[in-house]
Chains A and B, each alone.
Chain A
Amino acid sequence: MPQLFPKKANSLPILSLGASLLGGVLLVFLVWYYFSPEFKVVGYQPEQPVPYSHETHVDKLGMDCQYCHTNVANSKHANVPATQTCMTCHSQIRTQSPKLLPVRESWANNEPIEWTKVHHLPDYAHFSHAAHVNKGVGCETCHGRIDQMGADGVYQAEPLSMGWCLDCHRQPEKYLRPNDEVTTMGYTQPASFIERNLDRIKEEGIQPPTNCSACHY
């Protein structure tokens, strides 16, 4: 009776075992890496109708975030400034600049500038800016160094995924800062900031929710 398998089939078990192990490792890595929000979402930098530079306005001119985003401390929604805010200065500064043409047209025609939203949470996840800003979550912690984002526009610096949100809701003491440093860019925590934050959390009764109804209603 002839042999059913040739001699070189002896290596088949070890080969298939090795390949499946390696394939498993590779699969886990690829999914973990490429399906992560850090890969899929972070770095989104759409082209905007006006090449607005946060670097110029915040870093060079030293304007506070709330000059334009006026409602961060008292509203769920952190507003994009109206054309009127742009025209406060640009009715007199750089009045001929072609870059600002959409702003002047918006002002003249009473039509809003159609900015592209960068940080979009799904509509079933509800977020309140005021709740965070008033308890000492800095702009930089979630939006990155906005003051260094130039004329290429704002990009998303953090994943804004649920796991990322919960990292902070479970350990807020690692991220909080004093209320008067919330809009500071490039803030460095002092040495004993964990103790300071734990004191504050206790004193103000800050209880970051980790339940479904907090955000998903």
Chain B
Amino acid sequence: MRRSFLTGLVLVALLLAGCRGTQSDNPPFHMNLDMDFQQKFGPQEANPFFEDNAAMRAPVPGTVPRGELRNNSALYEGRTEAGDYVDQVPIAVDRAVLERGQDRYEVHCSVCHGKAGAGNGIIMRGDYGYAPASSYHIDRLRDAPDGYLYDVIANGVRNMPAYGQKVPVQDRWAIVAYIRALQRSQNATPDDLPADQRMELVEGEPDGTQPTAAE
């Protein structure tokens, strides 16, 4: 009697052992919930007091946070005081900025515009019915001022929604700088290379293999 009871217990335990970590919609079990859900609101939590049930409230339009007075129209709007697009990126561009731009470009932009900027990202290749993304390697965009590209990121254009709410100002300019680098890369001539690397290009095999040694 006792023996069968014990074997049964062990069998049940083994059976339940399979349940560890399996997916279930039972909420996690906590012995003591005293301070797990405190009477305050964190970011993106629900607050039943308001009609839309959100604890995060939208600021009144026109309010300016301390330290975020955006009074530099070239930097924040990509436009001069007169309202024209600025020709040049208004921040200092170095290698770190370009690499940041590449990183952000590949996170936010390459999904549609493609990693090389030819307008062939996965959303465009997949036939999902999205309005075609433009290639950066067309004359209209090569000649467009930097401020225009900034404005498109910040506010969107035609069928492309705005990314300003997701991409901070410095990152937008970094992306613009990287797009300029992409445009150069797809429109380059051997003269753009430094002299020593140009030699390698000339000596490389016509089938594209690397030269064994540069003289």
Contact string against A for B residues 160-177, beta-carbon threshold 8 Å, 1 for contact and 0 otherwise? 010101110000000000
Q: Which residue of B lies closest to A44 (CB)?
A: B28
Query: Contact between B128 and A93 (Cβ–Cβ < 8 Å)?
Result: yes
Query: Contact between A123 and B35 (Cβ–Cβ < 8 Å)?
Result: yes
Query: Contact between A46 and B25 (Cβ–Cβ < 8 Å)?
Result: yes
Interface residues of B in 5-51 (CB under 8 A from A): 6, 9, 13, 16-17, 19-30, 35-38, 40, 42-44, 46
Q: Which residue of A lies closest to B159 (CB)?
A: A92
B122 at interface (Cβ–Cβ under 8 A)?
Answer: yes
Binds A, one of B103-111, B178-186, B187-195: B103-111
Q: How far is the CA of A180 from the CA of B103 in the complex (A)?
A: 9
B129 at interface (Cβ–Cβ under 8 A)?
Answer: yes
Chain A residues lying within 8 Å of B24, measured Cβ to Cβ, are 43-45
Q: Which residue of A lies closest to B167 (CB)?
A: A70
Contact string against A for B residues 71-110, beta-carbon threshold 8 Å, 1 for contact and 0 otherwise? 0000000000000000000000000000000010011100
Binds B, one of A2-10, A75-83, A184-192: A75-83
Q: How far is the CA of A61 from the CA of B128 in the complex (A)?
A: 11
- Tell whether A89 pairs with B123 under 8 Å between CB atoms, given A44-B24, A44-B26, A64-B106: yes
Binds B, one of A25-33, A168-176, A196-204: A25-33
Query: Contact between B43 and A77 (Cβ–Cβ < 8 Å)?
Result: yes
Distance (whole angstroms) from the CB of A36 to the closest CB of chain B: 8
Chain A residues lying within 8 Å of B106, measured Cβ to Cβ, are 64
Count residues of chain A with CB under 8 A from any CB of chain B. Answer: 49
Indicate the member of B24, B28, B44, B129 with the most A CB atoms within 10 Å.
B28
Chain B residues lying within 8 Å of A155, measured Cβ to Cβ, are 23
Contact string against B for A residues 117-132, beta-carbon threshold 8 Å, 1 for contact and 0 otherwise? 0001011100000000
Query: Contact between B13 and A29 (Cβ–Cβ < 8 Å)?
Result: yes
Select one of B21, B35, B122 contacting A124, CB under 8 A: B35
A195 at interface (Cβ–Cβ under 8 A)?
Answer: no
- Tell whether A80 pairs with B44 under 8 Å between CB atoms, given A29-B13, A61-B122, A112-B52: yes
Select one of A26, A77, A85 contacting B166, CB under 8 A: A85
Q: Which residues of A contact B (CB under 8 A)?
A: 22, 26, 29-30, 33-34, 37-47, 61-64, 66-67, 70, 77, 79-80, 82, 84-85, 87-89, 91-94, 110-112, 114, 120, 122-124, 152, 155-156, 180
Q: Which residues of B contact A (CB under 8 A)?
A: 6, 9, 13, 16-17, 19-30, 35-38, 40, 42-44, 46, 52-54, 103, 106-108, 111, 122-123, 126, 128-131, 159, 161, 163, 165-167
Extra A-B contacts (10), CB below 8 Å, given A44-B25, A82-B165, A112-B54: A38-B20, A39-B20, A42-B20, A43-B24, A67-B107, A110-B52, A111-B52, A111-B53, A124-B35, A124-B36
A-B contact pairs, 19 of them (CB 8 A): A29-B13, A38-B20, A39-B19, A45-B24, A77-B42, A79-B44, A84-B161, A85-B166, A87-B161, A88-B161, A89-B128, A92-B128, A92-B159, A110-B52, A111-B52, A123-B40, A123-B42, A124-B36, A124-B38
